[in-house]
Amino acid sequence: MNAAAPVRTDSADGRVDFGRPTLVLRRRRLSTRVSRRAVVVCTVLAVTTFLLALVSLGVGTLALSPMEVLAALADTGGNEQARLAVVGWRLPRLLLAVLCGAALAVSGAIFQSLTKNPLGSPDIIGFSTGSYTGAIVVMLWLGSTTYLNIAAGSLVGGCVVAFVVYVLAYRRGIQAFRLIIVGIGISAILGSINSMLLIAVSPEQAMLAAVWGAGSLNGLGYAQLWPVAISGTLLILGAALIVAPLRQLEIGDDAARALGIRAQRSRALATVLGVALTAVVTAAVGPISFVALAAPQIARRLTRGIGLELLPAALTGALVLVAADLIAQRVDLPVGVITVSVGGSYLAWLLISEYRTRGRL
Amino acid sequence: MLLAACTVLALTCVASLAVGARDIPPATVWQALVAFDGSDEHVMVRDLRLPRTLVGLVVGPALGTCGALIQAFTRNPLADPGILGVNAGASFAVTFAVAFLGLRAPHQFVWFALAGALAVTVLVYLIGSVGPGRATPVKLTLAGVALSAVLGGLTSAMTLKSTQTFDVMRFWGVGSIGGRSMETLVYCLPLIGAGLLLAAASARSLNALALGDDLATAFGVRIGAVRVVVVLAVTLLAGTAVAVAGPIGFVGLMVPHVVRWFVGPDQRWIIAMTVVVAPVLLLASDIIGRIILPSGELRVGLVTALLGAPVLIALVRRKQVSGL
């Protein structure tokens, strides 16, 4: 967009009034504007996540204060034991929590934007269950537990289920309620199939898959971190590139086309990115539900933004998962159990507040 | 019509007694029932398959009628104790009783299952009724989904925390009609009977309610009273069924719909037929499970989910449902 284009100026100093305080960035060929509130919110989120991370790194059999953790990270304290615990064992788990939280939140934000509905998250419409089934099939039938194979399995599973759910829910357009009910139905079928798969194999294999199926960050190290870090970062960057078309799709296909967006192609690309983000996370840590649902909604309420905003969502997701994992470590449960309990309550609250204000969702 | 359904039910019962890891001819089944001689096959029929069939005969009507009542009362064609979270509530309460109070036998946790079912029924209805307009199918279903998620998470948290709880729940947590004790059944029979009676008593009022609240009031139906009776009946039926057999979904969804095709919209007929048809579905699912995996590991709850989910999807794809 050219800065010299004629725009209506409402305020005295020649600036455009967007209805809220904004910061405008202009470089030679690129200009963008961000709301001041979003910048503040993002900073606060990042700082909170960092502080929580310091606490989380200090928790365990070897309890460390945040200052000791910082010393161990910078390798200045000379305490070999602390450095091994923090950098060797706890750091990969923490980074996984940050990455997975961000990836899930971005995936949820994409789907919520595509379906124009706060409930359009991968866990509600059954994609997560599909990823889980795909991963179980790879684990149990092909007997492979390497990350890449499981990731491929859960990606294929997620995509197939996404496709099936969309096709079954399609009837002169996608309607959110139908999408959700079809998702519930497909999840029920897949749940039965998962149980049958687990029954049909040896107890050891079944136990392995069941532990993984609860969604836990326990016992994960650098071996699991690197693949997630590389693929997750690439996918999130990819998602950042399609934010602009997605935002314009939110105002309707016709209007978006008039602005030069190829609607079908952008939507297909966004769906694949969203499913891939969920699959990457599911393959590494198992199904962790409701982060994708709640994080984008919380972010949106914090920034009071309209439309798709990835960075606040990703930061909120990271914060939520780090906090949930901290709780999970304290009460010794898989983190997936924590997120489903807290996230379900959040969903109930969301429903009540939306019904009260709008009478519908 | 009712007669034909009863015949099918009788045939299904015979099949349920005869089919399994070892097929037993119907003649031998009959002998085992009337002239018990202590042979292996006779013991198998009397001690394993007869209890299983009886549990199916008791739990089936409870689940089916429960679904029919909720569907009629909320005018929600997608209602099912599983989807609306009533089963999850009962499961949660039972798990709580097992984990923190150390209860072990099903007849001890019946009352917890009832309390859990009642609490969730009321809660889902309250959340669904928030805001302007009455409780629509969409609102109720979503409230059920949210509550099911929370309660499911808390339930698995409790089972994962203690090995003992995990052991009891592993057996009970997936809906199954096998291996239940006769004591439990006898203990629960009056509760389910009471629930069925309440359902039958409210059938006429539910017919009037189908015309809308205003017309129903004009016909002399006291809506508040009907609401209390229906919630009570749903609680008794769903709670007891969960206590006996564990959470079994989709029976309450499918049966009333199938029955409606045959007998039309009269609730009295729907409930009567559901009582007969629901155990047919439950026992047939159990038999299918036994045929697929003869070890008896494929629980009936898994089979009903496989059969019922496509019905759910077909229902939501119909035009009227999305328009409701």
Do B305 and A337 count as a contact with CB atoms less than 8 A apart? no
Angle between helices A222-241 and A147-169 (to 10 degrees): 40
Residue of A nearest to B313 (CA): A182
- Spans in chain A with pLDDT lower than 50: 1-11
Residue A14: predicted pLDDT: 56
Ordered by where they begin, the domains of chain B are 2-317 (1.10.3470.10)
Which A residues 284-313 touch B at CB under 8 Å?
289-290
Residue A317: predicted pLDDT: 94
> Looking at the domain assignment, is residue A196 inside a domain?
yes
Do A356 and B130 count as a contact with CB atoms less than 8 A apart? yes
Residue B138: predicted pLDDT: 75
> Looking at the domain assignment, is residue A288 inside a domain?
yes
Residue A23: predicted pLDDT: 75
Average pLDDT over all residues of chain A:
82
CATH classification at residue A105: 1.10.3470.10
Q: Can you read off the two tokens belonging to residue A313?
A: 């969502």
Residue A19: predicted pLDDT: 66
What type of residue sits at position A285?
V
> Looking at the domain assignment, is residue A150 inside a domain?
yes
Residue A275: predicted pLDDT: 87
Q: A29: which DSSP letter?
A: S
> Looking at the domain assignment, is residue A2 inside a domain?
no
Residue B289: predicted pLDDT: 85
Residue A3: predicted pLDDT: 44
> Looking at the domain assignment, is residue A201 inside a domain?
yes
Residue of A nearest to B143 (CA): A348
Residue A171 to residue A157: CA distance in whole angstroms: 23
Residue B208: predicted pLDDT: 86
Residue A243: predicted pLDDT: 85
Contact A266, A277 (CB under 8 A): no
Residues paired with residue A34 on neighbouring β-strands, in sequence order: A23
Do A344 and B149 count as a contact with CB atoms less than 8 A apart? yes
Backbone angles phi, psi at A130, to 5 degrees: -60, -45
Residues paired with residue A35 on neighbouring β-strands, in sequence order: A22
- 3-state percent helix, strand, coil for chain B, nearest multiple of 5: 80, 0, 20
> Looking at the domain assignment, is residue A73 inside a domain?
yes
A328 near B CB under 8 A: no
> Looking at the domain assignment, is residue A31 inside a domain?
no
Global pTM reads: 0.81
Q: Give the number of C-alpha atoms closer than 13 A to the C-alpha of residue B295, restricted to the C-beta side.
A: 5
Could you list the residue range(s) of the whole structural domain that residue A329 is in? 37-333
Q: Can you read off the two tokens belonging to residue A188?
A: 């029920």
A257 near B CB under 8 A: no
Q: Helix, strand, or coil here: A32? A: strand
Shortest distance, CA B127 to any CA of chain A (angstroms): 6
pLDDT in tens, chain B (324 residues): 788 888 888 888 888 888 877 777 888 888 888 777 877 778 777 777 888 889 899 999 999 999 999 888 887 788 888 888 898 999 899 888 888 887 777 677 888 889 999 999 999 888 888 877 666 777 888 888 889 888 988 888 888 777 777 766 766 666 777 777 777 788 889 999 999 999 999 988 888 888 887 888 888 888 888 888 998 999 999 999 988 888 888 898 889 988 888 888 888 999 999 999 999 999 999 888 888 877 666 778 888 888 888 888 888 887 554 333
**Number of domains observed in the structure of chain A:** 1
What distances in angstroms separate CA B174 from CA B25, B91, B248, one per listed residue? 30, 10, 8
ipTM of predicted assembly, 2 dp: 0.80
> Looking at the domain assignment, is residue A339 inside a domain?
no
Residue B64: predicted pLDDT: 93
A vs B, Cβ pairs < 8 A, gives 133
Residue B35: predicted pLDDT: 78
Residues of chain B positioned with their CB less than 8 A from the CB of A361:
138-139, 142
Residue A305 to residue A242: CA distance in whole angstroms: 18
Q: What is the 3-state secondary structure (H, E, C) of A152-181?
A: HHHHHHHHHHHHHHHHHHECCCECHHHHHH
